[in-house]
Amino acid sequence: MNETFKALADPTRRHIIRLLKEKDMTAGEIADHFNMTKPSISHHLSTLKQAKLILDERQGQNIVYSLNTTVVQDVLGWFLEIIDGKDPGKGKEEDE
């Protein structure tokens, strides 16, 4: 879980996730969305892949990346637990 949260702590990587939410893309297509070198994007993809947030599959010359919604849901579960367990109706108690 820590690897997943760390992977999500970078804006470029979150942007990649939002791109892959729309459709699967090759590494090159993803890189075209950023003002950054391809090796840098490749490194971000590697981080996301290691966190299992994305999946990769070679198709000829290209490598196609896709979102792994299972792991995204795991993180979602972490947040749901934080919210659900919290006593509702208890907000800021500032009375002045």
Partner DNA sequence: TAGATATTTAGACAGTTTTCTAAATATCTA
Partner DNA sequence: TAGATATTTAGAAAACTGTCTAAATATCTA
Among residues 4, 16, 20, 45, which is the contact residue for DNA, using CB under 7 A?
45
Measuring CA to CA, which residue among 27, 28, 78 is closest to residue 49? Answer: 27
Contact 4, 71 (CB under 8 A): yes
Long-range contact list for 37-41, CB < 8 A, 24+ apart?
41/12, 41/16
64 binds a copy of itself (CB under 8 A): no
61 is a contact residue toward DNA (CB under 7 A): yes
**Could you tell me how many residues of this chain bind a copy of itself (CB under 8 A)?**
32
- Taking CB under 7 A as the rule, does residue 48 contact DNA? no
User: Of 27 and 72, which CB lies nearer to a copy of itself in the complex structure?
Assistant: 72
Which residues in 17-36 contact DNA (CB under 7 A)? Answer: 26-29, 31, 36
Task: Cite the DSSP H helix spans in 1-96.
Answer: 2-7, 11-22, 27-31, 38-50, 69-84
Binder to DNA among 1, 5, 46, 80 (CB under 7 A)? Answer: 46
Among residues 27 and 64, whose Cβ is nearest to a copy of itself? 64
